[in-house]
Amino acid sequence: MHDASGSKQEKERPLLRTVGHYAISQSFHCEVHRVTTADGFILIMHRIVPGRSTDTTPTPRHPVLLQHGLFMSSGVFVTNDSSSLAFFLAEKGYDVWLGNNRGAACLEHTKFTTNDPEFWDWCVDDLARYDVPAMVDHVLKSAGQPSLTWVGHSQGNAQAFMALSSIPSLTSKIRLMVAVAPTARLGELPSAALRFLRREHYFETLFGTTQFVPMISYVLDLAPASLFALLGYNMFYYLFRWSDTRWLKSRKAKYFQFTGLPVSCKQIRHWIKMTMRGGLSRYDTGELYPIENIRVPLAVFHGEKDEIADADALQKLLLSNPTVPLRRFERIADYEHLDLIWATDAVEKSLDKIHEVISQELAREQPDPTF
């Protein structure tokens, strides 16, 4: 199913900011689900449904929940054509769900609007405390299954690590966590601009306390997709030092329809605080989340050229506690932060390995007795 050729037909497809559009292009259907968190945010989730099956009583499929990173939404998992992680896993027979955090593709609340300061008063702690359990519970209820596999990319792992280390009831609901390019232990901020933002007074003066740089959203809505991709790519290349060396260039405009989406200033401030502290910590107190104490089987895939995450520190932390069910910790040569989901050879270098570790976990008769 791997196609990295970039055909004329691919280039001529319209660029829309809807997951369903890309699902249909690969012969899948897409269900849209609305999930309300305990603090009132309405999250949008997507379920990828096979479009070719004629079996009216299909065997229950194991649910896999994919969770995006900072500034992104669920669309990052469906815009690599047939090599997209969501479609790849659906083809392998999993019940694939795509999560969206507050902000991102979800700008609704039961009480507040985006014009209210209260709407933007949240950080990564809140993604872990509210968004993760709301999405997990909705998937399990809808799928009628006791547990799921969580596959996170970047921040999608951070919020899961934080949730699992602080909400004990989640342990029995997540059969396996696959951490792709995890930002659980952080290196030095890669750009001078980000290092400058560590000065809290300047941050609030420049950016305020609501949405972080709302101009990005306006440009995304108004500019041609190719122009926004050019602007967005160069901005993120400067800030985070990841490049498009291993991407199919004709797909870049699609990627950036789901990159550069709304986040809160408090969320960015939280990430800056965590880089200064060296790991995942609570916004107010600075207390580190004890992620070395999680009891969910874990597999980690990390790009060797990833300048954002500190893989060595994470591996040392996990191995320091022998009770962590670490199934795999693998570095992928020449890969950067986003290559694990967008590289032209991602199927062979990362996606196949994700499927392999999930299938191996499901082949086990029962979870470890340490759960």
- Give the end-to-end CA distance of the chain in Å, rounded to a whole number: 37
- Tokens 């209210």 sit on residue: 116
The pLDDT assigned to 185 comes to 75
Structure token pair of residue 243: 């490049």
Between CA 166 and CA 282 the distance in angstroms is 11
Q: Where would I find the beta strands (DSSP E) of the chain?
A: 28-36, 41-50, 63-67, 95-99, 108-109, 148-153, 174-180, 298-303, 326-332
The CATH number of the structural domain formed by 17-188+290-363 is 3.40.50.1820
Q: Rounded to an integer, what distance in angstroms lies between the CA atom of residue 111 and that of residue 115?
A: 12
DSSP label at residue 131: I
**Neighbour count for residue 38 (Cβ, 10 Å):** 10
Backbone angles phi, psi at 231, to 5 degrees: -65, -45
Whole-angstrom distance, CA of residue 316 vs CA of residue 210: 37
Decide: helix, strand or coil at residue 323: coil
Three-class SS of residue 248?
Answer: coil
pLDDT score of 8: 41
Query: Within 10 A of 3 (CB to CB), how many other CB atoms are there?
Result: 14
Question: Would the pTM count as exceeding 0.85?
Answer: yes
DSSP reduced 3-state for 34: strand
- Contact between 266 and 209 (Cβ < 8 Å): yes
Tell how many helices (H) and how many strands (E) occur in the chain: 16, 9
Write out the chain's pLDDT in tens, 371 residues.
444 444 444 444 557 889 999 999 999 999 999 999 999 999 999 999 987 654 544 568 999 999 999 999 999 999 999 999 999 999 999 999 999 999 988 899 999 999 999 999 999 999 999 999 999 999 999 999 999 999 999 999 999 999 999 999 999 999 999 999 998 876 666 666 666 666 777 788 889 999 999 999 889 988 999 999 999 898 888 878 789 999 999 999 999 999 999 999 999 999 989 988 888 999 999 999 998 889 999 999 999 999 888 888 899 989 888 888 999 999 999 999 999 999 999 999 999 999 999 999 999 966 554 44
Distance separating alpha carbons of residues 336 and 333, to the nearest angstrom: 9
Rounded distance between C-alpha atoms, residue 133 and residue 37, angstroms:
8
DSSP readout, 170-234?
Answer: GGGGEEEEEEES--SBB---SSHHHHHTTSHHHHHHHH-SSBS-THHHHHHHHS-HHHHHHHHHH
Q: In angstroms, how far is CA 210 from the centroid of its own chain?
A: 22
> Measured at the alpha carbon of residue 304, what is the angle toward residues 68 and 317, in degrees to the nearest 5?
75
Q: Report the candidate in 10, 130, 22 with the shortest Cα–Cα distance to residue 76.
A: 22
Whether 293 and 165 have beta carbons less than 8 Å apart is answered as yes
How do beta strands 63-67 and 108-109 pair? unpaired
Query: CB under 8 Å, gap of 24 or more: what pairs does 110-114 form?
Result: 110/36, 110/40, 110/41, 110/42, 111/40, 112/40, 114/211
Contacts of 38 by beta carbon, 8 Å cutoff, 6+ apart: 130, 133, 134
Spell out the domain ranges in the chain: 17-188+290-363
CA distance 339 to 153: 11
Contact at 8 Å (CB) between 26 and 81?
yes
